[in-house]
Amino acid sequence: MTTHAKTFTEFAANRYLGYPHSNGFADDGASVVLGQIEETTVSLWKMHRASKEQTLLGRFPIDKKPPNKLIWFDVARDANRMIASVNQSILLFDLNKSALPLEVFQAPRDWVLDQLLSITADGQRMVISMRHGMQQLYRGLLVDLQSGQIRTIVERPWYANHFHFSPFDPDWIGYAHEGPTEKIPDRTWVWHAEKAPQGKCVFDQASDDPQLKLCVGHERWTHHDVSAVTIAYGVSPVGPRGLYEVFADDRPARLVSAGDRDFHCDITRDGRWAVLDTTGPHDAPGKGWDNAADVSDIFIVDMKTGRRQFLARSHLNLHPRHAHPVFSPDGATIYYNEAESGGERNRVMEVPNPWI
């Protein structure tokens, strides 16, 4: 297998990319924000993609236990501001200045912040989620970063997470019914103040069959439409498994590209190409995690035809050492995580988009 992947950061730095449904690119796409795992801290760095010049954004003590074992972040595409979830607080960074971040939210007593979060492209609003420590209660919160106004938009007795704005229309907010995918037939949800104020599920995974057909997850809302790309995992008892596109309106979900090991996904801003990683070698027998070893393969996918092409082979370990491939803003480069084989360290790799 031929690959043109190159090392972007070394294992010694132990750095990782942002979550796939977040934006990790700053300075109009010239830089990328990375987390760095250290002994008792996690630091955040802004790294210029071409020169690799780097700026320390902050270093924070982390107890390495859920939910504080990592720092996830999201960059406002047009405003060059960033939010990060740090030890039950949300911090706001101005990426144009060397200034201390501002705390803009602190989890109330008896509530636990989810680490995943999202900020609008203009940097004016964020959506976060949290769970009650004593009750089976989960909330999604919409926060105005100028006024400080907080609105509860979702309240569920089940694990609601993966909240993020639609980059195409931020009035739509996607979220997930999290949990064992084999038992959850309504993973993919949206909220809209007028069109879906109670929230609605937008992917009927079971159809008219009482048996769950598709085990779905890792949705990423797209830049070109009120849609999301999402994965029907290899553990799905019935297919077709693989990469799907689902819609916030009444259009039916469509299979983009079939695959029995697909895991995470991202999409270019023009909606032309998708990228995904796998749960094991694509050329090994089986599906899902069968014969997975510590391998995760990277593929590019044509969103129109479903054609896919192998790009690179990565190792796989626990968060944040999932490959989590993402496109650069111009779609020309794909970045992904690679775990050290048999080790705990992580590095970031880059590979060119062969179809540009």
283-304 per-position pLDDT tens digit: 999 999 898 888 999 999 999 9
Q: Indicate whether 71 belongs to any domain.
A: yes
Mean pLDDT of the 35-63 span: 95
Give the pLDDT confidence score for residue 209 in this predicted structure: 64
pLDDT category at 317 given cuts 50, 70, 90 is confident
C-alpha 91/C-alpha 42 separation (Å) is: 14
Cα 139 to chain centroid, rounded: 19
- Among the listed residues 72, 62, 12, the one whose alpha carbon sits nearest the alpha carbon of residue 42: 62
Q: Indicate whether 114 belongs to any domain.
A: yes
Mean pLDDT of the 183-197 span: 96
Cα 308 to chain centroid, rounded: 21
Q: What is the mean pLDDT of the chain?
A: 94
Higher pLDDT, 290 or 343: 290
Question: Could you tell me what percent of the chain has a pLDDT over 70?
Answer: 97
Q: What is the DSSP string of 6-63?
A: EESS-GGG-EEPPPTTS--EEGGGTEEEEEEE-SSEEEEEEEETTT--EEEEEEEE--
Higher pLDDT, 344 or 65: 344
Please report, for the domain that includes residue 153, its CATH number.
Answer: 2.130.10.10
pLDDT digits (tens, 9 = 90+) for 89-139: 999 999 999 889 999 999 999 999 999 999 999 999 999 999 998 899 999
Alpha carbon separation from 13 to 44, 65, 134, 339 (Å, rounded): 12, 21, 38, 12
Residue 182 carries which DSSP code? G
Mean pLDDT of the 173-199 span: 96
From 26-30, 45-49, 242-246, 250-254, the region with the lowest mean pLDDT: 250-254
Judged against a pLDDT cut of 90, whether residue 320 lies above it is answered with no
SS3 category, 183: helix
Q: Indicate whether 99 belongs to any domain.
A: yes
Domain range enclosing 110: 6-352
Give the pLDDT confidence score for residue 259 in this predicted structure: 97
* Angle, vertex CA 220, rays to CA 216 and CA 223, nearest 5: 145
Q: Indicate whether 1 belongs to any domain.
A: no
Could you write out the three-class secondary structure of 86-114?
ECCEEEEEECCCCCCCEEEEECCCCEEEC
Q: Indicate whether 78 belongs to any domain.
A: yes
Give the pLDDT confidence score for residue 207 in this predicted structure: 62
pLDDT category at 239 given cuts 50, 70, 90 is confident
Domain count, the chain: 1
Instruction: Write b or e for each residue in 259-276: b if 16 or more Cβ atoms lie within 10 A of its Cβ, otherwise e.
Output: bbbbbbbbbbbebebbbb
Q: Indicate whether 300 belongs to any domain.
A: yes
Q: Could you tell me the pTM of the whole model? A: 0.96
Cα 193 to chain centroid, rounded: 23
